[in-house]
Structure 1
Amino acid sequence: MNIFVAPDKFRGSLEASEVCQAVKEGILLAYPDANVTTIPLADGGEGTAQILTQHANGQTITATVNDPLGRPVNASYGLSADRKTAFIEMAAASGLALLSAAERNPLRTSTFGTGQLLQHALEQGVNHIILGIGGSATTDGGIGMAMALGYQFFDKNRTLLRPEGASLNDIAFINADHADKRLSNVTVTVACDVTNPLYGPNGAAYIYGPQKGANADMVEILDKGLQNLAKVAAETFGEDVSNDQGAGAAGGLGAGCLWFLNAVLKDGVSIVIEQSRIGELISHADLVITGEGKVDEQTLSGKVVKGLADFCGQYNVPLAVICGTLQITPEQARDAGMTYATSVLNRPMDLNSAQTEAFGLVRDATFNLVRLFFVKR
């Protein structure tokens, strides 16, 4: 039997590669003759660049860039074996994890370091960039990134503005004359797992600003600033993308990538699945096993599990799902294309115990599901 294993990480417990190992051990314990293929997956968030780099047999590149507050930080990205594709996570340079709670202030934080990473990749001669934009500390609409790449933003007095969220309301002119010419020879694909518009009640400032340190007054200022950016950018580039799905991702970096990089926004699952050529592996499998830390209603709208379920449905291959927490009904699991779904928890336990014992719990749950699935074979 061919069993294909392709899980996401169990956040706080196991990386995707560790989940793969635990599942493989459980399979072979139950079915020693199984032919097991494992590929760690991600949904476009943290860890995606590393996984894509592995799939591309690539290498890790490190550059010194600005963190969200302009301090030097060493940030890494991936480069494919043929050196044609760069895999970048904006969180490496502009992520919330780089700041203490007291330092979080989206009026002052910037995506400038992300632009520096993009520039560093351009210097390697790449012709394709895959950029993950989860985990940001910023709400600057991508102007910091754009400034690092040569764009200039001026106020009404033609004074050059700083690359930070507080500048958004003052933007009156955008000058693209000095933008890095190499951008015209590069395609940029953005891994984006949210669908929020740029501004408004469901936009970047109101929905995500508070977790980045914004109080109510800051949220209002930032939202008005993003509206102003949309007005000036639409006049400059001839297109208003502020209502495109994902425009509000990463504090408006989604919209910034559309305007300043001519990028395409795609859900992260689709990108990872496409880059890892999973369709072919699924087509030859007798069973696919996946999983993630929590399976809930959000899982049903584009995460790793749902992405695999769609592929399995195409090839009529059963899909088994293991997780730490299972929060969907049997009907939802069935309708999403899951053949089997179970929590790995085998007794009442607190979160710390579950995370500490995660490897063994995943292995044992896999053993039980494989024994059940192949009981008649």
Structure 2
Amino acid sequence: MKIIIAPDSFKGSMTSLVASVAIKRGILDVDPLAETILLPMADGGEGTVEAILSVSGGKRISCQVQDPLGRKIEAAYGWIVEEKAAVIETAAASGLPLLLPEELDPDKASSFGTGQLIKDALDRGAEKIILGLGGSATVDAGTGLFQALGVKFFDENNRELETVGGRVDLIASMDATGLEPSLAAVQIIVASDVINPLLGKDGAIAVFGPQKGVKQQHMSRYEKGMRQFSALAANTMGRDKSAEPGSGAAGGIGFLLKTLLDVEFMSGLELIVERTQLEKQLDGADLVLTGEGRIDGQSVFGKVPVGIGRLARSHNIPVIAFAGSIGSGIENLEKEGILEIMPIISGPMELQEALLDGESLLYKAAKRLMNILKLGKVIADDK
């Protein structure tokens, strides 16, 4: 029996690689002869570096950068020597997991640290940068990232703004002539499954602002500031990218990437599928196992398990997904190729306990699944 193991991370509990190994252990405990292919997945957010390094080789490079609030931290990115390629996650230096809930501060939070990671990769001689957008704690429209790369922003008195954060409304002018020149020769692939524009009801502030700490009563101020800054950037650079899909990704980082650089946007999942050669690995497979922390009816909008389900369905291979929690609307997922959704929790449990024990719970769930499949085969053979 050939089984493809391709989960996303179980956010707050385990990475996609840890999840893959847990599933494999559960399978082999029941069927030691099963052939298992581990292909950890990601969507451009958390786990993108690990997923790519697991199939491409390479190593992690650690360097000191600023977290969203300007504090010094150690953050890492992936480095693939043969390709001279850096794999960088926005979340590593500018992510929500770096802040406690009470520390969320959209006015101050900056993407400067992500720019520092990019600068380190450029200094290392990078010829390709894969930048995963996802999980940022910022609504700074990427101003911090580009400040770290030489772009300057000024207030109405022509004073340079040291830190912009979410106060993009204070920007009266910008100067991109100091932008790191080596970027011009680098291939930049932006991995993101966010297709939102920068502005409006589907934009960066309206959709993602609340999770970054934007209070309901302040939404209009942030939206107005973002609209004002996008017009300024468009006027300065001679092109308006605010309405393009993906410009609202990572608090507007997508917008400034599109405005200042020649970048290629790509679905995060499609990128990982391509790098892992998942479609080729499906040849001869009997079953695909995927999963993530929560699966519900909204999973059809760019979530990894549904993407895996659709791909496997085109090859007539059944997919079973593990989930930490299951919400409403899952009845719609069968037509997306997911035959069954299996909770990893076998009984009542506090959320924090489940998060801490995720690896063990997933391992046991994989064992239960294999025992069910084994029993089904016995029954079928008896008939």
Q: TM-score, normalised by structure 1?
A: 0.91
Asked if the contact 1:14–1:358 (Cα under 8 Å) also holds between the matched residues in 2, the reply is no
Instruction: Indicate the SS of the match to 2:141.
Output: coil
After TM superposition, the structure 1 = structure 2 runs for residues 67-216 of structure 1, keeping only pairs within 5 Å, are 67-216=67-216
Instruction: Indicate the SS of the match to 2:314.
Output: helix
Asked if the contact 2:17–2:50 (Cα under 8 Å) also holds between the matched residues in 1, the reply is no
Task: Determine the structure 2 residue equivalent to 1:362.
Answer: 365
Instruction: After TM superposition, give the deviation of residue 310 of structure 1 in Å.
Output: 2.2
Instruction: After TM superposition, give the deviation of residue 100 of structure 1 in Å.
Output: 3.5
Q: Which one-letter code corresponds to 2:263 in the other structure? A: A
Asked if the contact 1:204–1:251 (Cα under 8 Å) also holds between the matched residues in 2, the reply is yes
Asked if the contact 2:84–2:125 (Cα under 8 Å) also holds between the matched residues in 1, the reply is yes
Instruction: After TM superposition, give the deviation of residue 59 of structure 1 in Å.
Output: 0.6
Q: Deviations over 1:23-79 (max 9, x none)?
A: 223323443322111122222221221222222211110111222222222111110
Task: Determine the structure 2 residue equivalent to 1:6.
Answer: 6
Q: Which one-letter code corresponds to 2:121 in the other structure? A: A
Task: Determine the structure 1 residue equivalent to 2:15.
Answer: 15
Identify if the C-alpha distance between structure 1 residues 105 and 159 changes in structure 2 by more than 3 Å, giving closer, same or farther: same
Instruction: Indicate the SS of the match to 1:339.
Output: strand
Task: Determine the structure 2 residue equivalent to 1:230.
Answer: 230
Instruction: After TM superposition, give the deviation of residue 360 of structure 1 in Å.
Output: 4.1
Distance 2:331 2:166 in 1: 47
Asked if the contact 1:198–1:243 (Cα under 8 Å) also holds between the matched residues in 2, the reply is yes
Worse-matched range after superposition: 120-129 or 11-20:
11-20
Task: Determine the structure 2 residue equivalent to 1:291.
Answer: 291
Task: Determine the structure 2 residue equivalent to 1:38.
Answer: 38
Distance 1:373 1:52 in 2: 36
Instruction: Indicate the SS of the match to 1:82.
Output: helix
After TM superposition, the structure 1 = structure 2 runs for residues 301-320 of structure 1, keeping only pairs within 5 Å, are 301-320=301-320
Distance 1:342 1:284 in 2: 24
Instruction: After TM superposition, give the deviation of residue 140 of structure 1 in Å.
Output: 0.8
Instruction: After TM superposition, give the deviation of residue 250 of structure 1 in Å.
Output: 1.6
Gaps of 5+ in 1: none
Kindly, what percent of the aligned residue pairs are identical? 38
Q: Deviations over 1:337-358 (max 9, x none)?
A: 1233322333444435544351
Instruction: Indicate the SS of the match to 1:116.
Output: helix
Q: State how many pairs are aligned.
A: 377
Q: Which one-letter code corresponds to 1:312 in the other structure? A: A
Q: Deviations over 1:104-138 (max 9, x none)?
A: 22112211111111111111111211112222121
Distance 2:261 2:353 in 1: 45
Instruction: Indicate the SS of the match to 1:174.
Output: strand
Instruction: Indicate the SS of the match to 2:338.
Output: coil
Task: Determine the structure 2 residue equivalent to 1:300.
Answer: 300
Identify if the C-alpha distance between structure 1 residues 374 and 341 changes in structure 2 by more than 3 Å, giving closer, same or farther: farther
Asked if the contact 1:345–1:361 (Cα under 8 Å) also holds between the matched residues in 2, the reply is no
Asked if the contact 1:310–1:337 (Cα under 8 Å) also holds between the matched residues in 2, the reply is yes
Distance 1:347 1:215 in 2: 36
Identify if the C-alpha distance between structure 1 residues 134 and 79 changes in structure 2 by more than 3 Å, giving closer, same or farther: same
Instruction: After TM superposition, give the deviation of residue 146 of structure 1 in Å.
Output: 1.0
Instruction: After TM superposition, give the deviation of residue 374 of structure 1 in Å.
Output: 4.6
Asked if the contact 1:139–1:251 (Cα under 8 Å) also holds between the matched residues in 2, the reply is yes
Instruction: Indicate the SS of the match to 2:232.
Output: helix
Identify if the C-alpha distance between structure 1 residues 95 and 59 changes in structure 2 by more than 3 Å, giving closer, same or farther: same
Identify if the C-alpha distance between structure 1 residues 330 and 203 changes in structure 2 by more than 3 Å, giving closer, same or farther: closer
Asked if the contact 1:77–1:89 (Cα under 8 Å) also holds between the matched residues in 2, the reply is yes
Distance 1:373 1:162 in 2: 65
Identify if the C-alpha distance between structure 1 residues 238 and 119 changes in structure 2 by more than 3 Å, giving closer, same or farther: same
Q: Which one-letter code corresponds to 1:4 in the other structure? A: I
Distance 1:53 1:213 in 2: 32
Q: Which one-letter code corresponds to 1:206 in the other structure? A: A
Asked if the contact 1:321–1:341 (Cα under 8 Å) also holds between the matched residues in 2, the reply is yes
Worse-matched range after superposition: 235-244 or 321-330:
321-330
